[in-house]
Amino acid sequence: MGVRGEMSRPAVFLDRDGVLNKAIVRDGRPYPPSSLDALEILPGVEEALGTLHDAGYRLVCVTNQPDVARGKIDKALVESMNARIADRLRLDGVFACYHDDNDACDCRKPKPGLLLRAAVAMDIDLGASFMVGDRWRDIEAGRSAGCRTFFVDRRYSEKRPSGYDYAVTGLGEIADILLRRAT
């Protein structure tokens, strides 16, 4: 039960770069945009998230942003990008990890810390929720948190995830799948 007597709600957790906004792909690997001007919401994302929101899902972005720890981008700029995305896409929350792998934090995907924090803060039922990502780290984080997973296959030249529940090419397919499950 929720804090105010309401039932926990399911969520769709969404990676940011490559899922919500266009990733900059160099040598087959995705990178985040480096400025607000370079931030481009992917086609169909607004419509798909509107459908999922209307169906009762909480929409939560969970994103690794290690370039902050690496000194390549200012945290305030990343937070401005996150705020722009959250506002435009009507997200219920954005949870970001600003660490690099060697920081050994519990929030950097593939660890499930961001999802677990969001679940507590927003009264989310993880077992009824889904993680959407375009990299193996996203899928592993979702599985570790007890969510079902959607792999958005962007055909990057890097390690591929395993054990995902669905492979899709975009968020429109996810909305269709989840709405069919509900009927």
- Give me the helices (H) in the chain, please: 45-54, 75-89, 113-122, 136-144, 171-182
DSSP, collapsed to helix, strand or coil, labels residue 3 as: coil
Which three-class secondary structure string do you get for 139-156?
HHHHHHCCCEEEEECCCC
Residue 15 appears among annotated catalytic residues: yes
Residue 17 appears among annotated catalytic residues: yes
- The residue among 102, 2, 85 whose CA lies nearest residue 38 is 85
Catalytic residue among 17, 67, 134, 138: 17
Q: What's the token pair of residue 178?
A: 């989840």
Strand pairing category for 29-31 and 24-26: antiparallel
* Cα 20 to Cα 88: distance, rounded to the nearest angstrom: 11
Catalytic residue among 15, 67, 134, 138: 15
- Positions marked active-site: 15, 17
